[in-house]
Amino acid sequence: MPTTWECFRGAAVTLAGAGPIKQRLVEAYRSHLATVADADLPYEIRQDFRSLVARLNESPKVGGLGPVEASVRKLSDGDASAIAGRIVEMFATVSEQGREVTRTPTLRAVNAPDEPLPPLLRAR
């Protein structure tokens, strides 16, 4: 299962690719963001993400199109570009949160002076 960061990274890479913006938006959502749980997101973007999901699923299935494809089809290119930009902004927020998590100090295990070294670390 990919991490939230990996999902948003995949979506951002897809959005930066070639092809019509609506096609890239559908692919970014279906392939990368549809499985993201808002509980795994930083608090400050959860509501925005819920709104994004609702917007991309607001239309019913039409013919051979699923809800996402039907919803995106109704968007103007400008609206699709704005949604894509917001996804990239969310990716930046998710990335920033990850960077803060990795800044926590690492602990080192140190043997007490009277403890013998484990067998693997003894000189041979």
Residue range 61-71, pLDDT digits in tens: 988 999 999 99
The predicted pLDDT at position 114 comes to 64
Residue 114, in any domain of the structure:
no
Q: At what angle do helices 21-28 and 4-15 cross, to 10 degrees?
A: 170
Residue 99, in any domain of the structure:
yes
Residue 121, in any domain of the structure:
no
Q: What's this model's pTM, rounded to 2 decimal places?
A: 0.77
Residue 76, in any domain of the structure:
yes
Domain that holds residue 43: 4-103
115: confidence class by pLDDT, cuts 50, 70, 90 = low
Angle among Cα 75, 76, 77 to the nearest 5 degrees reads 115
Burial of 25 (0-12, 13-18, 19+ CB in 10 A): buried
Residue 118, in any domain of the structure:
no
Per the structure, the count of domains in the chain is 1
**Which of the residue ranges 15-19, 31-35, 99-103 would you say has the lowest mean pLDDT?**
99-103
Residue 10, in any domain of the structure:
yes
SS3 65: strand
Tell whether the model's pLDDT for residue 101 goes beyond 50: no
Residue 46, in any domain of the structure:
yes
Tell whether the model's pLDDT for residue 2 goes beyond 70: yes
Residue 69, in any domain of the structure:
yes
Tell whether the model's pLDDT for residue 106 goes beyond 90: no
